[in-house]
Structure 1
């Protein structure tokens, strides 16, 4: 797909200076002398930003190495499926945008609700900072399975080349919502994923966990009941509920896999071992640990008790 590669190369050349400009502006806002909203170095550290860049390069390298395989799979399904007769190019691209955003929502939902995939995605959430470079803090191994969610698009007649182009375009939007410097955006909050929505997504506050999964559109979260508004009374606390103790690059990528390994070493049957992989992060056979749903249930019960005790 030479045309696709040329377009991606064009996007890279255009988006890179755009990202760098935005990052420089955000750094200036963070460190300017009159800055009162954040304490110095609250939004950026060199180590964190450097780690984000390395994770982006690792993700990109794996994506390039694996591209021939996943493009081949998409082409095979495209040829096996039916070609939807869509003569109107606007309707074609708009439909692809909607369905691909829904596919990403599904991917993202599974990444948060199955420990096997959370072990990959947790890298993106492990930073205790939230800035534009956080958007590059990639889930390193996601290219190995992400394409599975796009197979239905190929089956119904969307060209694999167009699927890849659309994903590349929406990724740009997905990166620039990683900022603390844009407040709520009025009516846009009802349709699109905004920085406010994505701050919630990256927060480790109990009521914010596993919320706002969309890439570009927030409508999926509103439809499937995973939406949470950013509350003035609950400022986001970024990072994981259990921070990484030794945040080397290797540990940032592999720490959850190490925890899975510890669980597998326990004397349990095969079904329990599979549940450690398939079920939600925090699941345990004896209930000694808590999933997001468990934590949110306790948090809600506590809020109700507090309300009645007033």
Structure 2
């Protein structure tokens, strides 16, 4: 069984030079037209390092999870839809739906956040940040695709659709594109994704979609990007950024902290499980805050200052 479909090979062939062109264009525009430094050499090299690490793990594990998805598909109660247009349109919608829940669990479950945190660790926001991959996500991402295989979608088509929507997910990592009118109501846009990468309390864990923004609006995780008059300038990165990130800590720093939290003395089993399966920021003694607690505190401070 080949780990790459013909469609994926074509996608890779055309997307690679396209990415190089748009990143080069963004660097030129941001520096010489907008006079804004959106790239640093160290951050860009880190993004390349993380996407190569992610790609290596994905390649090594791909045949294994393709075998699992194929096994499920072979036991599906349904056959692939005969209407090609309906088949691909339905796959697009359902793949984006399951990705929304993958992404939401990445943000709301501590041990998954320990994987995903690398993607949010940059204090820059540009096309190259779209390649700042969650290195170990390929080890569990396929689990969310199992229902699609069970519904009769071909495994290679599922992976192709994920790769295709990822292109859009990369393109929304930019500060150079403003709001896009009526498209803001349907698609994930750069404006929506700037909110997602913000560490401002009001914006934390919002706008989880990859391609369609409708899931966030349906399930209560949508937040519009507000002007600086309405709220505050966006601050990218983590609520507590790494002081001296290196090739090891940028991937494993949250895992190290999880281990320290879970193994500290004097905790109940419920508290230990809270540090592992609870939301990021959970603490048994209130020494840290979750995203919703930070948002609530900010709102209370705003109201009290009026």
Q: TM-score, normalization: structure 2? A: 0.95
TM-superposed CA distance for 1:278, in Å, is 0.4
In structure 2, distance between residues paired with 1:301 and 1:56: 40
Partner of 1:305: 304
Aligned residue for 2:242? 244
C-alpha displacement at 1:88, in angstroms? 1.4
Could you tell me which runs of 5 or more consecutive residues in structure 2 were left unpaired when the two chains were aligned: none
Specify the alignment match of 2:185 in structure 1.
190
Cα distance in 2 for partners of 1:158, 1:13 equals 24
SS at match of 1:287: coil
1:210-231 Cα deviation digits (max 9, x unpaired): 0000000000001111011111
Query: Does residue 278 of structure 2 align to residue 283 of structure 1?
Result: no
Structure 1 pair 96/17, CA: closer, same or farther in 2 (3 Å)?
same
Preserved CA contact (<8 Å) 2:3 2:63: no
Q: 1: CA distance between counterparts of 2:77 and 2:4? A: 22
Aligned to 2:254: 256
Q: Structure 1 residues 111, 66: closer, same or farther in 2, change over 3 A?
A: same
Correspondence for 1:9: 9
Kindly report which structure 2 residues correspond to 1:166-181, keeping only aligned pairs within 5 A, or say none. 166-181=161-176
The two structures, once aligned, show a CA RMSD in angstroms of 1.3
Q: Report the Cα distance in structure 2 between the residues aligned to 1:210 and 1:136, rounded to whole angstroms.
A: 19
For residues 18-167 of structure 1, the aligned pairs below 5 Å read 18-32=18-32, 34-36=33-35, 38=36, 42-84=37-79, 86-167=81-162
Query: Equivalents in 1 of 2:217, 2:122: separation in Å?
Result: 26
- Work out the CA distance in 2 between the residues paired with 1:112 and 1:3: 29
Runs of 4+ in 1 over 6 A off after TM superposition: none
Deviation at 1:203, TM superposition (A): 0.6
Shift of 1:84: 4.3
Equivalent residue number for residue 271 of structure 1: 270
Unpaired segments of 5 or more residues in structure 1?
A: none
Give the TM-score normalised by structure 1.
0.94
